[in-house]
Amino acid sequence: MQLGIPLLRQTDNLLREEAKRVTKESKNLELFYGSVDYDRLVVEVNKLARGIFDSRAAQFIPSREAEARQSRHDLYAVIENQPHLKRRLAAISRESVGRWIAHEVKRSARRILPGHLAHVISGQPLRDLTWLAKRLLASSRYRVSHAMVRSDLYLNWRYYQTGTLAKASPMTTTTQLMRAIATSS
């Protein structure tokens, strides 16, 4: 698999990189894996491709599944406890969801993004995370921050349209891919 194709870092890492950049902790955004991390990843992928499924891989899949379940559970809990939100989201048609997201981002982004930041920057008070979210959202250059907010809004809307998130969660999709790789050997 040594094709030299640049590999994008995981979403949480990209968000952390954007936060470092906006606070001037870093001058550059490290969007792609460096050579050392890339080489390690190539080794792991080659092992899986040869059917070598070690204990690290065996632990990784269940941990990703648990994280995906917890993510869905947390989202269900938030939505189910807000009947007014439930009614509002259920009334938005597929044709108008894009316009709704564009409008809602302006209204809700500063409340949504601090939750994601808390996940990748531990130990920071909500006030600091909110300040950081405002800084990230003030510039279109921080695309991951903006995308995470839009994704949350879309997943909330989708849940009310379909009643499920199982196939919409990026974490679930990645986990299903890893399970397929592991079980195909």
pTM of the entire predicted model: 0.72
CA angle at 114 for the pair 125 and 112, rounded to the nearest 5°: 145
Q: What burial letters (b/e) apply to 56-68, b meaning 16+ CB within 10 Å?
A: eeeeebeebbeeb
Lookup: tokens for 159? 């849940």
Please, where are the H alpha helices in 81-142?
A: 83-90, 97-120, 126-137
Chain segment 151-166, per-residue pLDDT in tens: 888 888 888 887 776 5
Q: Tell me how far CA of residue 112 lies from CA of 173, 177, 179, in angstroms.
A: 23, 28, 31
The residue extents of the domains of the chain are 11-183
**pLDDT per residue as tens digits for the range 134-152:** 999 999 999 999 999 998 8
For residue range 84-128, what is the model confidence (pLDDT) as tens digits? 877 888 899 999 999 999 999 999 999 999 999 998 998 899 999
Q: Which two tokens stand for residue 99?
A: 């316009």
